[in-house]
Amino acid sequence: MAGVDAANPVIKVVALSGSLRKGSYHKGLIRSAIELSKEAVSGIQIEYVDISLLPLTDTDLEVNGTYPPEVEAFRQKILEADSVLFASPEFNYSISAPLKNAIDWASRPPNFWAGKAAAVVSAGGGFGGGRAQYHLRQVGVFVDLHFINKPELFVNAFQPPAKFTSDGDLIDAEVKGKLKEVLLALKAHTLRIQGKH
């Protein structure tokens, strides 16, 4: 795990996007979070992990306690992380199939989500992906993730002024400020869970 220097712990965060689209706003939120971690939020290191290559969850793929190589690599990333940043789109009032698939794979015995701090951000129309966030929190209860309660970040991506470019890059200063607050809260929550705060 990260955070070996007790005086200046570095929180190792894995970031997952539930949207696979190239110009995804959710990937844009993660890119912005990574930039903020380098410029404005010290002591936090964020790594984006692509979940698009994971096969569909199928226990027939588990052989003698091992998993397919892509799954093993993904599970290892989760195991080594201190906490998780989810960027979760809302599909039909719920989380996306790719994100649920990733969660299911890493929850197979042994459950690598257990005991980790987590935060979730989203973008979309209307409620800005809020229903997906609340559904993800329900899933988190079962897999023993510990989500920050506040601040919450729901970005209404379609209400002027523009929040993202056509490539999905976040350009709204107010949203960036709120995203920074989420990262600071995730860092503090992680340190509390680890008994270092």
Tell me the C-alpha to C-alpha distance, in Å, between residue 178 and each of 29, 33, 155, 181, 185: 11, 10, 10, 5, 11
pLDDT at position 196 is: 74
Domain parsing of the chain, residue ranges: 11-56+67-193
Give the pLDDT confidence score for residue 36 in this predicted structure. Answer: 97
Tell me the β-bridge partners of 47. 14
DSSP letter assigned to residue 6: S
* Low-confidence residues of the chain: pLDDT under 70: 1-7, 197
Check residue 128 and give its pLDDT: 86
* Residue 3 pLDDT: 44
Phi, psi for residue 34 in degrees, rounded to 5: -65, -45
* Spatial distance between the Cα atoms of 166 and 168, rounded to a whole number of angstroms: 5
**How many Cβ atoms are within 10 Å of 175's Cβ, its own excluded?**
20
pLDDT digits (tens, 9 = 90+) for 35-48: 999 999 999 999 99
Q: What is the CATH number of domain 11-56+67-193?
A: 3.40.50.360
- Element holding 101 (H helix, E strand): helix 97-107
